[in-house]
Amino acid sequence: MDATLQKYISQTTDTNNYLVTANNGGHQYINDFEEVYACYAANFPSELNNWLQNKMMLNALPFNVKQYVQFACEATIVKFFADKYKTDLAIEKKINPANKMDVDLVFSENGFTFNIEIKCSDFNAKEAIDASNTLKIQPVGRLDGFGDTLAELQELLKPVAEKLNLDAIVATKNMDNSLKDFLLSANKKFNPAASDKELNILSVSCNDAEDMQLWYYYMFKDQGLFTSSSFHPVSEFENVDVVILNNLYFKHYEYFNKKLLNSWDFGNCFNLIFINPFAKQKKDAAVAELLKICHNQNAGLRLWNMPGTAEEEVKDSRRIADYIKGELEDKLKQYFFNQP
């Protein structure tokens, strides 16, 4: 291990730090991280100490796992593109002349510029509900009158909950407000006068296959942010051209309880790329270039014929999660989440 990295790890006082845990336990996670460290040391030497101390949290402060996961997701994506486009790449770059806010990653390839803002929710509220001893009801999108519907279901399913010794019947946490906040934040950072050769990208790190299905709902189901009935004005995120959903939260959070391939390899993530239908400009050529340089499962998902006799609208509510399980894992033996 590099001497500088070893020094930071040895001086970290909270042994709950994921990197310290991996190092002490001889976990592959730390070996894979060393490649990310080498990337930052080579490409961003002036940022290295700050990155280790404040983003990887190798310091004397209590370890904040959710902040760490956010920065780990960011570093994973930076490393993937820095390895390929290091001659024309920058991190934390200001690109909107109207403010001093910076974008996480900017790089150019084949005449196009790609600006990537990398976001990851902390999932705390959702995980608290998921872990509770309750029967959960999951709405698909924002449903009018859902409160009344939930009350009816609670009454109807009360005997079931009692038989199962559950404490209550509750609605799961809808995180579409998190996506809205991500879009609004990214919108402020991107240059509203960007040309069609400049693609503004919001990357959102998700949890497991079921969670990725939910984030799709937040965009495209009832009152979804990318629908004509969006619960928030779509003009307020028109600078965002594309959203990339990936499973990096799953790959980093509690990695030690999972059977994973390299958590630090964005090229081995499950990635889906979605165009914002309300973006200020159509940037078909730039999007096509992104699809070439960013590993994704768009084509496979689009061409997959989901089995069953259900209506397409019903199938669409399960398409991503079932594609991952039924097609990729069971049929093709491709594992982007837990390994067999």
pLDDT 10s digits, 149-178: 889 999 999 999 999 999 999 998 889 999
Asked if the model's pLDDT at residue 140 lies above 80, the reply is no
Per-residue pLDDT averaged across 122-144, rounded?
88
- How many helices, marked H, and strands, marked E, lie in the chain? 14, 8
pLDDT 10s digits, 249-287: 999 999 999 999 999 999 999 999 999 999 999 999 999
Per-residue pLDDT averaged across 93-115, rounded?
97
Q: What is the pLDDT of residue 309?
A: 86
CA-based nearest residue to 157, from 131, 132, 137: 137
Q: Where are the domains of the chain?
A: 1-63, 65-123+175-331, 125-171
pLDDT band at 243 (very low <50, low <70, confident <90, very high): very high
Q: What is the pLDDT of residue 16?
A: 98
C-alpha to C-alpha distance for 96 and 130, rounded to whole angstroms: 39
Structural tokens at position 291: 């699809």
Asked whether 53 and 8 are in contact (CB, 8 A), the reply is yes
pLDDT band at 329 (very low <50, low <70, confident <90, very high): very high
In 65-98, which positions are buried (b, 16+ CB within 10 angstroms) versus exposed (e)?
A: beebbbbbbbbbbbbbbbbebeeebbbeeebbee
Question: Sign (positive/negative) of CA torsion 269, 272, 278, 280?
Answer: positive
Q: What is the pLDDT of residue 310?
A: 86
Per-residue pLDDT averaged across 304-321, rounded?
88
Between residues 317 and 240, which one has the greater pLDDT? 240
pLDDT 10s digits, 17-36: 999 999 999 999 999 999 99
Q: What is the pLDDT of residue 118?
A: 99
Question: What is the C-alpha R_g of the chain?
Answer: 21
C-alpha to C-alpha distance for 89 and 108, rounded to whole angstroms: 7
